Structure 1
Amino acid sequence: MKKIKIDVVVVPLSGHLYPTMNLLLPLLDNPQYEIRLFTGPQKKAVAESAGFNVVTILEDHIEEFEKAANNDEQLGILSAYHQLSASIDLINLVSDQLLVEWQKNRPDIVIADFITLSGGLVADQLGIPWITTMATQFVLETTDGPPCLIGGMGSPKNAWQAAVQFLGRKGTRLVKRIVSFSFRDRLKRYNFRLYNQLDQETIYSPYSILGIGMKEVELKKGFPKHYKWVGPSGASVEAGEDYPLDLSAFPNRKKVLVTCGTQLAWAKDNLIYQTKQLAKAHPDFHFFVTRGVGGEPFQCENLMENLSVVSYLPYKEYIPQMDYVIHHGGAGIFYQCIIYGKPALILPHDYDQFDYAVRGVEAGVALTANKEDTRAIGLAFEKLIAKEDWSELEILRQAAQSYHPTEILESEIHRLLADKEKE
């Protein structure tokens, strides 16, 4: 039987790469599929250890990628524009590589992460069906609900808020059109149009979009018909034994994991400072701050009697052993807290994190506070540990187990191939 050749294109960022890897992991041992993963050399080792056949992208442009992906401070309008501009240069470099590779060794299906635009753009050029994997579902424009990336809007409570959100959705479109126009010369090679004839965004697949999350916590409505919820799968893929933190040494204390992910290097010092204040106020708790630096020898430093700073902790290995989690509102950690039933305090920093924070609060699984307001953080933590009824969290924890991501993925792969044969 002829194998189905699947090429997967994802930037080497944990919050984007790991959800897609986890979605595909069950297919690696299936002889029906031949899967190649295109990602940066930064993640080559961890992807290969998970079983993937890796083709590296941006091999000679690691510094440029890191500069474009990891800003030195919280993004503003101007810095976000410059970051996007630098990203387009890298997109075109990846597109050059994919074009050469796929003309020589053409896949049957392409799977591309939602910010890894080269995969879809080149697949469209070559007439290859493709699937978008989307770890942050609400970045997709929909016909109803709060616009995202503008501070975290929740469900509208009245007609005025609904009107504001309507204007926000329109404003988002206008900004996208202006930015797209400013980059028109650099996107000309793709015959790029921001929206297709169905008024849907062309940076996402017109065939299949797989939302790696839960519809139960989503506030937006009006997703495209080819959008499918596959459930949360953003767990870390590193081996737990490579990051040996012995939690049995703290048997009589409540344990709190504190993290702001792998990208926000500028936020780590403040995170440690805020955790120190919590540790002073709560000597019966032990706080574990992870710096989010994986792929290096494990390090653990005790800053206080009840505060440890570690280089990295794989979420799926250590969240089950924690009592509470303080995090930044990234997609992966947000859903891992739900999967393992851990109440969270969200301190949003940047990107989509304010949107995740409001979803966590509305779903009843988290509280939130300003990342720099020590008093507000302290009060929110007090409220977090005092709350006894987390029944909403338990309901969502059970709902997270009800998804069948592999079945949906395979169904979409075979549907797209069947549609291709009919053409």
Structure 2
Amino acid sequence: MSERKVIAFFPEAAYGPALNSVGIAQACEALGHKAVFLTDPGMTGVYSAYGFEEHYVNMSEPMPAEEMARYWTDFINGHIPNFRKAPIDQLDNYVKECWEAIVSTAKWAQKELPAILDKIKPDLICVDNVILFPAIKQYGKPWVRIISCSENEVHDPDIPPYLSGMSIDDKEGHARFQKRFEEVIAPIHADFNAFLGECGEQPYPLGVFFEESPYMNLLLYPDPVKFERRHPLPPERFHYLQGCVRTDKPYEIPQFKAHNDKPLLYVSFGSLGSGDVELLQRLVRAIGKLPYRALFNVGEHVEKYTDLPDNVIVSNWYPQPSVIAQVDAVIHHGGNNSFTECLFFGKPAIVMPYVWDGHDNAMRAQESGHGLRMDRYDWSEEDLARNLAQLLTDSRMGERLERTSAAMRSRKGPEDAAQILDKVLANA
């Protein structure tokens, strides 16, 4: 190990990137370094719950923490009708508004980041976001980009465009999606380039909001599902972490009123996706008729789930890695935490995406033979029963998942990341 250094982590204000960074930070501290977190006030308490310092960066008009915490929840809930649309048809509504908000966060962060960095004095900064924060690039210390979303966030002409959810073979679809994305994003991108100019940075090509770090870029995608690129990423600057599963609280599976000897399912659409109460209630009713047990993560909406079937238990939160390790199959939204945790623990999954890179991860799970992609709304109870039965009986998929799990566990992603960051510090 190099001498004790301060490593600042700056994940975007969402639980997926946040908890991935927690896993890496835990491993960095095990090496003897000090990890701290830069965070939007809306994520207050997330990192301190794991024992880390939190330093707050306003990324929008300052407001009470409770109001800030609700911003993205309200944003997602307002777009629930758009979840029924194909990815290309979400570009001029959900995706457009997301990028407008993301660019705004970068502008706001620039007001406070220089002073906050001067206060923390980090020796290394790790950013898990989809946009550049100029103050971090210009601080004068090494910075590392963490790519916790789908691997295709880093473009290659032979793989599907980011956010498209398209098959690797649909080349015409790739071109059509990219063309429409650039049309929708053009005015937002021009505004961001103007901001970069004000900060003394060069403009980015249309559609690009972040550059790769010259020091190191860490991708969470594991080898068994990564894309075959026309231009392989140079290993001296890009490293696949094979997932980055954090250490979380243990969880004891409760007793169910029925089917205690049957396969156990875990159903979660993440903290934001839990707002789609109608869909989750439909799944509760459908699974209630099947010979399984199921744990449902329903977020802050627990009171809306009444008269539950005897084989279903709901909660507002679960220590997800501890739960997934013990279940037989998972239904999730394609968030990168859920995606990589299922692979890490060798659990088959039905992926029902609704936005962002969930579409990409759903297609990747299916095309790589690690799960099934299922439309979020266009399904019958018979479809669900058939797909669950396939997950639980497909021996080839099970064997593939066992191999993937063994490979990921042998690599120990968080420890791997910490060793790499230690080397970046030693060479600084």
How high is the TM-score relative to the length of structure 2?
Answer: 0.82
In 1, are the aligned partners of 2:43 and 2:69 still within 8 Å (CA)?
no
Cα deviation for residue 186 of structure 1 reads: 4.1
Q: How does 1:156-175 map to 2 (within 5 A)?
A: 156=169, 161-162=170-171, 164-165=173-174, 168=177
Matches of 1:324 and 1:404, distance apart in 2? 23
Matches of 1:256 and 1:21, distance apart in 2? 26
What residue number does 1:350 align with?
355
Matches of 2:412 and 2:282, distance apart in 1? 41
User: Alpha carbons of 1:30 and 1:380: their partners in 2 closer, same or farther (altered >3 Å)?
Assistant: closer
What residue number does 2:50 align with?
50
Q: How does 1:4-403 map to 2 (within 5 A)?
A: 4-31=5-32, 33-58=33-58, 60-61=62-63, 62=65, 63-64=67-68, 66-68=70-72, 70-71=75-76, 72-74=78-80, 76=90, 77-115=92-130, 117-118=132-133, 121-136=134-149, 137-150=151-164, 152-156=165-169, 161-162=170-171, 164-165=173-174, 168=177, 178-195=187-204, 202-221=210-229, 222-225=231-234, 226-235=237-246, 238-240=248-250, 246-247=254-255, 251-280=260-289, 282=290, 284-293=291-300, 303-375=308-380, 376-389=383-396, 390-403=398-411
Cα deviation for residue 388 of structure 1 reads: 3.7
CA displacement, residues 145-196 of structure 1 (integer Å, 9 cap, x when unaligned): 121212x12232xxxx345435655665666555311444444433344548
In 1, are the aligned partners of 2:103 and 2:131 still within 8 Å (CA)?
no
Matches of 2:93 and 2:374, distance apart in 1? 26
Residue 124 of structure 2 aligns to which amino acid in structure 1? I
Where 1:266 maps in the other structure, the secondary structure is: coil
Matches of 2:387 and 2:30, distance apart in 1? 45
Q: Let me know the Cα RMSD of the aligned residues.
A: 3.2
In 2, are the aligned partners of 1:348 and 1:357 still within 8 Å (CA)?
yes
User: Alpha carbons of 1:253 and 1:405: their partners in 2 closer, same or farther (altered >3 Å)?
Assistant: closer
Deviates more, 1:360-369 or 1:405-414: 405-414
What number of residue pairs does the alignment pair up?
Answer: 403
Matches of 1:231 and 1:110, distance apart in 2? 21
Where 2:331 maps in the other structure, the secondary structure is: strand
CA displacement, residues 333-366 of structure 1 (integer Å, 9 cap, x when unaligned): 1121122222111111111112111111122121
Matches of 2:425 and 2:117, distance apart in 1? 17
Residue 142 of structure 2 aligns to which amino acid in structure 1? P
Cα deviation for residue 214 of structure 1 reads: 0.3
Question: Which stretches in structure 2 are left out of the alignment for 5+ residues?
Answer: 83-89
User: Alpha carbons of 1:105 and 1:127: their partners in 2 closer, same or farther (altered >3 Å)?
Assistant: same
Cα deviation for residue 231 of structure 1 reads: 1.5
Matches of 1:82 and 1:393, distance apart in 2? 37
User: Alpha carbons of 1:26 and 1:302: their partners in 2 closer, same or farther (altered >3 Å)?
Assistant: farther
User: Alpha carbons of 1:27 and 1:93: their partners in 2 closer, same or farther (altered >3 Å)?
Assistant: same
CA displacement, residues 208-263 of structure 1 (integer Å, 9 cap, x when unaligned): 1101220220225135321111121144x65346xx75147653222111111111
Matches of 1:419 and 1:188, distance apart in 2? 30
Cα deviation for residue 86 of structure 1 reads: 2.5
Deviates more, 1:200-209 or 1:100-109: 200-209
Cα deviation for residue 93 of structure 1 reads: 2.5
Matches of 2:132 and 2:379, distance apart in 1? 39
Matches of 2:241 and 2:39, distance apart in 1? 22
Q: Percent identity?
A: 19
CA displacement, residues 271-311 of structure 1 (integer Å, 9 cap, x when unaligned): 2213312322x1x21222111359xx999966112222221
Matches of 1:3 and 1:288, distance apart in 2? 42
Matches of 1:131 and 1:344, distance apart in 2? 31
CA displacement, residues 10-58 of structure 1 (integer Å, 9 cap, x when unaligned): 2332111011110120221433x23211123454434223221222233
In 2, are the aligned partners of 1:194 and 1:201 still within 8 Å (CA)?
no
How high is the TM-score relative to the length of structure 1?
Answer: 0.83
Cα deviation for residue 117 of structure 1 reads: 3.8
Residue 155 of structure 2 aligns to which amino acid in structure 1? E
Residue 402 of structure 1 aligns to which amino acid in structure 2? S
User: Alpha carbons of 1:128 and 1:228: their partners in 2 closer, same or farther (altered >3 Å)?
Assistant: same
Matches of 1:186 and 1:201, distance apart in 2? 11
Residue 73 of structure 1 aligns to which amino acid in structure 2? H
User: Alpha carbons of 1:347 and 1:406: their partners in 2 closer, same or farther (altered >3 Å)?
Assistant: closer
User: Alpha carbons of 1:56 and 1:267: their partners in 2 closer, same or farther (altered >3 Å)?
Assistant: same
User: Alpha carbons of 1:418 and 1:387: their partners in 2 closer, same or farther (altered >3 Å)?
Assistant: closer
Cα deviation for residue 201 of structure 1 reads: 6.4
Residue 22 of structure 2 aligns to which amino acid in structure 1? M
